[in-house]
Amino acid sequence: MKYEENLIMLRQQGPLAIAAALVLFIILHLGFPPEAHGPRTTGTTMLGGIAFLLMTSSVVLSARMEVFEDLFGGLDRMYQVHRVAGTFAAIFALVHFFGVPKELPESVDPVANALVPSAPLGMLGLIFLVIGLFVALNRKIRYSRWRPTHKVMAVVYVLIIGHFMTAPGIFFDRFSASGILLMLAAILGTASLIYSLFGMNRRTAIPFTIEAVNALERATEVVLKPVGDMIDFKPGQFAFVEVQGKGWSEPHPFTISSSPGEDRLRFTMKVLGDWTRKVREELQPGRDVMVRGPYGRFDAAGAIGRKQVWLAGGIGLTPFLSKLRAMQPGDDRQIHLVYAAREEQDAIFLDELKARASELRNITLIPLFSDEGNFARVDKMKENLPDPLGTYEYFMCGPKPMIDGLMKDLKKEGVSRGNIHTEAFEFR
């Protein structure tokens, strides 16, 4: 997320780096093909190489390196690119599989260039890749079942490396320029994979204990006490929460709702599924928790525009709640906080928001309750904002259909896309 004119959008440096690697591979592959390559072999092996580079990009992004957050604009944007890269990797792999010649040229010694074990490794890798992609994109599968299944993609990556490293020279020349590039990518991807599976959790885990579990209307606030050092974060960032103990092993990402100045860490979770319902009904103070993070770049403080609209839909309030709790009197921004909920009793922390708005004086709170006919729409913005829509920067977090609709309508009203910032808080 760009901290100036394009703060919360996907930063271009990361995708451009991936595109540059693909272009370099294509140039090297087409410019220096093996002598025995025919056009079909050159083209289909090129598609296979593209698929592997996209898969490597997906693996590297899954390691959650902070340097890549800066290049892509936050972990949420990295996961968007991770999904897109994985999907296109599967498409290119399928075309490669069905298009690549299945027989060696007559001039090539079949004994010296036996396909085993390259062919079965490639076949297994492709089968698991397609299955894994289907599972990854199927939102009907519970997160508790999706997460361990998704780890099968690590096996796919190893199988694909084995596939091209054992391929006959007619298909993969290891010491060609493009072959060396693929082997370097394999080294980087393997290192990232090992780190993701065995090193990342130990390096980033910070221990906490649960101090309180507060049941709110349609949400739950979990208050954590640090065991040692407090996590260092910025308002609007999120972290992965993993409750220790049997039945609680899977980590879940949540926006931090406390301010960086507090000595406790707070997460406010909407009751959406089995895990969040279990948190509300069964989680007790005293249990150990591991927190990994922080991640994300949803930070309105770095924006150039001093006239801002913060639009929160339901539990999408949490990043703004952290910002408000951290804000000090004297802030020179003019902020209109639009808080959309179904009804007033669903509007968590509404009294605190009113108190903070009164204290800070640069905050105008605009509650919108749909049961009263007040929806988060552009026409309501026009009614409640004193200046033309195009003079504000917009920071929005909430249900995807609401955000997508607002973005479309704001752009119709002439608001620049660079002035519309959203949090892409989806990880599957």
The CATH code for residues 204-295 is 2.40.30.10
Hey, do 13-202 and 305-422 end up sharing a CATH topology, with the first three levels equal?
Answer: no
Predicted pLDDT of residue 101: 77
Residue 3 pLDDT level (bands cut at 50, 70, 90)? very low
Tens digits of residue pLDDT in 128-181:
888 877 776 666 777 667 776 777 788 899 999 998 888 877 777 778 889 999
Most confident among 33-42, 304-313, 354-363 (mean pLDDT) = 354-363
Architecture of domain 305-422: 3-Layer(aba) Sandwich (3.40)
For the stretch 45-103, pLDDT in tens is 899 999 999 999 999 998 888 888 888 888 888 888 988 998 899 899 999 988 887 66
Q: Is the pLDDT of residue 2 over 50?
A: no
Residue 6 reports pLDDT greater than 60 = no
Domain range list for the chain: 13-202, 204-295, 305-422
Confidence of residue 4 (pLDDT cuts 50, 70, 90): very low
Rounded to the nearest integer, the mean pLDDT of the chain is: 83
Domain 13-202 falls in which CATH fold?
Answer: Four Helix Bundle (Hemerythrin (Met), subunit A) (1.20.120)
pLDDT of residue 425 exceeding 90: no
Of all residues in the chain, the percent with pLDDT exceeding 90 is: 26
Q: Evaluate if residue 340 carries a pLDDT over 70.
A: yes
Q: Dihedral of the CA atoms 395, 399, 405, 411 (nearest 10)?
A: 20
